[in-house]
């Protein structure tokens, strides 16, 4: 009897499993709106873990360590303790199917209204935040972004070396925050960062910043 070719084995993909990581300051707490969002995430079989720390970079690095030690997780989703994403945020960010996916979060910076995403000005060598009033409809790539609503594939964190997050201080007085440092490092490693502008978060920061913006 002749020997036929063996049937090819199909690659079995690991089912998507997400850990939501929340760095929390030692004197802070998870806001009520954020807690409500987390309660809905748990119903979708999404786990979450809050990590109290003196600095955001400490909490973020500890959460990455926790994530990497558990191989069942495929994605780490960073969420700030005072930010409330849309209910379908994770589903939309997963649909982008890129290395790092994010939504838009309003921030108040130097007296102006901005989104937490940046383009890099290569001529002047600094990051430019995208204005809050800029019309954004279609998904787009960025060079850096803030650390909330940040969905990261496991391969990114397995590839990058510790520390994944670090705040850099410069003699000029410029400060490179830990989240910009991380996304900068990921871009240098040729990973893609993509934004879905329909994932628009609420940022409490003691008051609802989007309501403050509308009143200005």
pLDDT attached to residue 183? 94
pLDDT tens digits along 194-209:
999 999 999 886 544 4
- CATH domain 18-105+136-200 topology: Spore Coat Polysaccharide Biosynthesis Protein SpsA; Chain A (3.90.550)
Per-residue pLDDT reduced to its tens digit, 125-184:
778 888 888 889 999 999 999 998 999 999 999 999 999 999 998 888 888 889 999 999
Band of the pLDDT at 26, cuts 50, 70, 90?
A: confident
Whole-prediction pTM value?
0.87
Average pLDDT over residues 20-41: 92
At residue 153, the pLDDT reads: 98
Burial class (CB in 10 A: 0-12, 13-18, 19+), 212: middle
d(C-alpha 191, C-alpha 103), whole Å: 17
């Amino acid at each position: 009897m002749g020997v036929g070719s063996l049937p090819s084995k199909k690659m079995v993909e690991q089912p998507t499993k997400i850990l939501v990581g929340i760095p929390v300051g030692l004197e802070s707490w998870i806001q009520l709106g954020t807690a409500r969002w987390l309660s809905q995430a748990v119903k979708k079989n999404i786990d979450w873990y809050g990590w109290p720390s003196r600095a955001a970079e400490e909490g973020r690095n500890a959460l990455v360590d926790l994530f990497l030690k558990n191989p069942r997780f495929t994605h780490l989703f960073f969420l700030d303790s005072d930010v409330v994403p849309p209910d379908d945020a994770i589903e939309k960010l997963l649909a982008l199917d890129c290395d790092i996916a994010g939504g838009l979060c309003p921030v108040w910076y130097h007296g102006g209204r901005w989104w937490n995403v940046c383009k890099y000005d290569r001529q002047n060598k600094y990051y430019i935040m995208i204005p809050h009033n800029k019309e954004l409809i279609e998904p787009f790539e960025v060079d850096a972004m803030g650390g909330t609503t940040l969905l990261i594939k496991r391969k990114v964190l397995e590839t990058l070396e510790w520390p994944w997050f670090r705040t850099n201080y410069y003699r000029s007085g410029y400060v490179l925050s830990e989240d910009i440092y991380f996304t900068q490092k990921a871009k240098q490693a040729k990973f893609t960062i993509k934004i879905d502008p329909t994932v628009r978060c609420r940022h409490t920061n003691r008051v609802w910043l989007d309501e403050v913006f509308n009143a200005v």
